[in-house]
């Protein structure tokens, strides 16, 4: 019952590549490297790559401070990551996880390029939060190796990974993806290639509703504290800021298109985004983060 995938035998995954060195790409690369996978971290943009490597290095510092890893383990982990802003051979990679920007046209280009440079049996995974994964299938050869691997932010802390089965995903690919997720100490849930998959379909209406209460004049601290006291690990407006208002709006839009009678993107989100308040990463969202002050944004 626990996500057994027909009788398919999972394949072993060794070396990986992660495409995109943003918050998710860097978080995934860090996590895989702590689990002894060699990881090629790719980004076209040198600055983005440097930023990603800096955040990985900070995670390793943190893991040393918290005594999760010894200094030697942390140094070895860091050494397993090979950053690259130019194309490097990917023929030794068993798995590539794409975590580039959430635009189908860009992802299609990335997958077409990957498909030409990896082995025919290399599993090609996307970390998309909301895009229909099957629409990447015709960008690659052997679309039976296409799968979604949807990690959550912060990657080092969130146990669940959604394994998205598309109409082309083979049993072997799915079995390998599920076994891989378990092998890196995460908990897989197999989901359909449907808008919002499972988690965002449940989580996003909750977050959107919180922003509507705020829009009607609710005090952000009261809203967040109430949900903290209720038992959530983080208030919904803080969580929106963590996720990024642009990312959240993108997921909300996808859900609104699929379920127009029960979901819409609040105007407030669009207004904040248009003004450049994208959440923590831009320094402000529902809260202001300058000097880590974490005060509500007037
Ligand atoms: N390496 C490994 N582990 C680390 C680490 C590191 N560098 N740094 C910290 N940790 C571990 C610690 O060991 C500790 O583990 P333990 O609880 O097992 O002892 C744990 O992380 C605690 O770290 P913190 O003290 O930093 O975390 P908090 O307890 O303050 O919690 C939080 C912070 C995890 C962010 C919590 O507030 C939370 O769960 N918030 C909700 C997050 C959430 O919902 N994310 C999903 C967003 S939606 C999304 O991503 C989907 C997208 O598609 C939109």
Ligand 1 centre to CA of 6 (Å) is 33
Residue minimizing CA distance to atom 44 of ligand 1? 239
Q: What is the pLDDT of residue 62?
A: 98
The token pair that represents 181 in the structure block: 């997720």
Query: Ligand 1: which of 68, 157, 239 to mutate, judged by most atoms within 8 Å of the beta carbon?
Result: 157
Judge if 43 and 183 occupy the same domain: yes
- Residue located via tokens 């989100």: 269
- 3-state secondary structure at position 59: helix
60 and 178 fall within a common domain = yes
- Burial pattern 4-32, b for ≥16 Cβ within 10 A else e, equals ebeebebbebebbbbbbbbbbbbbbbbbb
117 CA → ligand 1 middle, Å:
35
Question: Does 293 have pLDDT greater than 70?
Answer: no
- Give the alpha-carbon dihedral of 292, 248, 238, 32, to 10 degrees: -70
Residue 219 lies in a domain: yes
Say what the pTM is: 0.94
Domain boundary among 164, 192, 220: 192
Question: Ligand 1 centre from 199 Cα, in Å?
Answer: 16
Among 153, 175, 192, where does a domain finish?
Answer: 192
Q: What's the chain's average pLDDT? A: 95
For residue 79, being part of any structural domain is answered with yes
For residue 84, the cross-strand partners are: 42
CATH number of residue 277's parent domain: 1.10.1040.10
Check if the beta carbon of residue 69 is closer than 8 Å to that of residue 97. Answer: no
Does 1 fall in a domain? no
Residue 139 confidence (pLDDT) above 80? yes
Residue 111 lies in a domain: yes
Query: Are 184 and 204 found together in one domain?
Result: no
Assess whether 76 and 93 both reside in one domain: yes
Which domain range does residue 26 map to? 16-192
Asked if 154 and 183 touch (Cβ cutoff 8 Å), the reply is no
pLDDT at 297 (0 to 100): 75
Question: Between vectors from CA 26 to CA 20 and to CA 146, what angle results, nearest 5°?
Answer: 50
Q: Which residue has a Cα nearest atom 28 of ligand 1?
A: 233
What are the φ and ψ backbone dihedral angles of 193, each rounded to 5 degrees?
-80, 70
Residue 7: the pLDDT is 74
Question: In this structure, is residue 210 part of a structural domain?
Answer: yes
pLDDT of residue 6: 64
Report the nearest-CA residue for atom 5 of ligand 1: 63
In the chain, how many domains are there? 2
For 115, the 3-state DSSP assignment is: helix
Q: What is the pLDDT of residues 196-243, one digit of tens each?
A: 999 999 999 999 999 999 999 999 999 999 999 999 999 999 999 999
Q: Whose CA is nearest to atom 29 of ligand 1?
A: 233
Q: Assess whether 164 and 205 both reside in one domain.
A: no
Residue 8 belongs to some domain of the structure: no
Q: What is the CATH number of the domain that holds 23?
A: 3.40.50.720
pLDDT band, residue 292 (cuts 50/70/90): low
The answer, yes or no, to whether residue 29 has pLDDT greater than 60, is yes
Q: Where are the alpha helices (DSSP H) in 84-167?
A: 104-117
Asked whether residue 55 falls in the same domain as residue 167, the answer is yes
Residues 25 and 48 in one domain: yes
pLDDT band (50, 70, 90) for residue 1? very low
Its ipTM equals 0.95
Instruction: For residues 231 and 264, state if they share a domain.
Output: yes
Q: Which residues line ligand 1 (CB under 6 A)?
A: 59, 62-63, 66, 68, 129, 152-154, 156-158, 200, 233-234, 239, 243, 247, 251
If asked whether residues 186 and 216 sit together in one domain, one would say no
pLDDT above 90 covers a percentage of the chain that reads 93
**11 within some domain:** no
Specify whether 175 is located in the same domain as 39: yes
Burial of 268 (0-12, 13-18, 19+ CB in 10 A): middle
Ligand 1 centroid – CA 51 distance (Å): 20
Average pLDDT of the residues in 39-54: 97
Same domain, 237 and 267: yes
Integer Cα distance of 238 and 4 in angstroms: 37
- Considering the domain architecture, whether residues 71 and 171 belong to the same structural domain is answered as yes
| 247 CA from centroid of ligand 1 (Å) | 19
Domain end marker among 147, 168, 192: 192
Give the catalytic positions in this structure.
150
């Amino acid at each position: 019952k626990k996500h057994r995938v027909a009788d398919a035998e999972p394949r072993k995954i060794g070396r990986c590549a992660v495409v995109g060195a943003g918050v998710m790409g860097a978080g995934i690369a860090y996590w895989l490297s702590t689990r002894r996978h060699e990881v090629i971290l790719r980004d076209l943009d040198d600055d983005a790559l440097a930023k990603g490597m800096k955040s990985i290095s900070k995670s390793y510092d943190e893991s040393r401070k918290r005594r999760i890893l010894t200094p030697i383990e942390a140094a070895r982990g860091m050494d397993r990551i090979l950053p690259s802003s130019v194309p490097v051979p990917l023929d030794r990679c068993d798995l590539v996880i794409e975590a580039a920007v959430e635009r189908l046209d860009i992802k299609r280009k990335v997958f077409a390029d990957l498909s030409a440079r990896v082995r025919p049996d290399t599993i090609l995974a996307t970390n998309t939060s909301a895009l229909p994964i099957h629409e990447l299938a015709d960008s690659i050869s052997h679309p039976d190796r296409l799968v979604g691997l949807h990690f959550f932010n912060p990657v080092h802390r969130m146990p669940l990974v959604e394994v998205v089965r598309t109409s082309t995903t083979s049993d072997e690919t799915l079995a390998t993806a599920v076994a891989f997720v378990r092998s890196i100490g995460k908990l897989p849930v197999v989901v359909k290639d449907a808008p919002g998959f499972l988690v965002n379909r449940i989580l996003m209406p909750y977050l959107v509703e919180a922003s509507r209460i705020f829009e009607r004049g609710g005090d952000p601290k009261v809203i967040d504290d109430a949900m903290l006291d209720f038992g959530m690990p983080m208030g919904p407006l803080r969580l929106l800021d963590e996720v990024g208002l642009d990312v959240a709006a993108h997921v909300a839009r996808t859900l609104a298109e699929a379920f127009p009678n029960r979901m819409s993107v609040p105007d407030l989100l669009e207004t904040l985004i248009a003004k450049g308040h994208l959440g923590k990463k831009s320094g402000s969202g529902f809260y202001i983060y300058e000097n880590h002050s974490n005060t509500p944004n007037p």
